[in-house]
Amino acid sequence: MKIHDYAKLFGKLNTSFPDMTFYEMTVAEFMFTCKLSKIAYDSGVAILKAAGTQWITGGGAEILDDAFRKRHSPGKYKVDDYFKAQGAILDAGLNSTATMVIGFDESLEERLNHLETLRQFQDQQSHKLTSFLCWTYKPFHTKLGGYEITTQDYLRWLAVSRIFLDNFVHIRTSVLTKNEDALLGLKYGANDFDLPIEDEVTQKAGASISLDFEAILNTARSLGFNVIKRNPFNGPASAFKMNERTEALVSI
Q: Is domain 3-251 annotated with CATH 3.40.50.300?
A: no
The percentage of the chain sitting over the pLDDT mark of 90, rounded to a whole number, equals 69
Rounded to whole angstroms, the Cα distance separating 16 from 20 reads: 9
**91 or 180, higher pLDDT:** 91
CB 190 within 8 A of CB 162: yes
The pLDDT tens digits for 34-73 are 999 999 999 999 999 999 999 999 999 999 999 999 999 9
Nearest to 244 by CA among 170, 174, 184, 173: 170
User: Does pLDDT of 164 surpass 80?
Assistant: yes
User: What pTM did the predictor assign?
Assistant: 0.90
Distances in Å between the Cα of 37 and the Cα atoms of 14, 44, 58, 81, 186 are: 22, 9, 20, 16, 42
Average pLDDT along the chain? 90
Q: Where are the domains of the chain?
A: 3-251
User: Does pLDDT of 242 surpass 70?
Assistant: no
Rounded to whole angstroms, the Cα distance separating 169 from 174 reads: 17
Q: What band does 238 get if pLDDT is binned at 50, 70 and 90?
A: very low
Rounded to whole angstroms, the Cα distance separating 247 from 83 reads: 32
Q: What is the pLDDT of residue 100?
A: 97
Q: What is the pLDDT of residue 67?
A: 97
Nearest to 88 by CA among 46, 132, 119: 46
CB 167 within 8 A of CB 123: yes
Least reliable range by pLDDT among 79-93, 113-127, 193-207 = 193-207
Q: What is the pLDDT of residue 41?
A: 98
242 Cβ contact list (under 8 Å, min separation 6):
191, 228, 248, 249
